[in-house]
Amino acid sequence: MQPLPMITPAVVDVIEALMADLDPRWAMEIVKASGRSPGTVYLVLDRLERSGWVVSTWEDDFVREGPRRRLYRLKGDALPAARRAVAKPAVAQDPMSRPLPHPGV
């Protein structure tokens, strides 16, 4: 598994959707859960798969009509890194911000 070079809000949303249910899920479920557009979700899933965070398989449900669906799931060894990627810092660190003066000073 490779570290992700950039973790954007879209990547966080997709990872959170994958972590909500560790069973294989098809992309449109991830689209709905993440609130992101299909184009964005497919790009993020591709990047996560190429980095070794996600594995995909083709659905083998031959009873359901329609085209086969590709199912995605977060790999077990990626779970700790995924948790770190979506963790929100307690206080945002902006190097350009200055502390506000205390109101009593």
CA dist., res. 42 & res. 36, Å (int)? 10
Mean pLDDT over each residue of the chain, to the nearest integer: 86
User: Strand pairing of 70-74 and 25-26?
Assistant: antiparallel
Q: What 8-state DSSP symbol labels residue 58?
A: E
Which carries the bigger pLDDT value, residue 16 or residue 95? 16
Residues 38-80 have pLDDT tens digits of 999 999 999 999 999 999 999 887 787 888 899 999 999 999 9
Q: Provide the pLDDT for residue 101.
A: 54
Which residues, including other chains, have CB under 8 Å from residue 71's CB and lie 6 or more apart?
Answer: 24, 25, 26, 56, 57, 58, 59
Q: What is 9-86's CATH number, 1.10.10.10, 3.40.50.10320, 2.60.40.10, 3.90.550.10?
A: 1.10.10.10
Question: Hey, how many other C-beta atoms are within 10 angstroms of the C-beta on 88?
Answer: 6
Domain range list for the chain = 9-86
Residue 56's SS3 state is strand
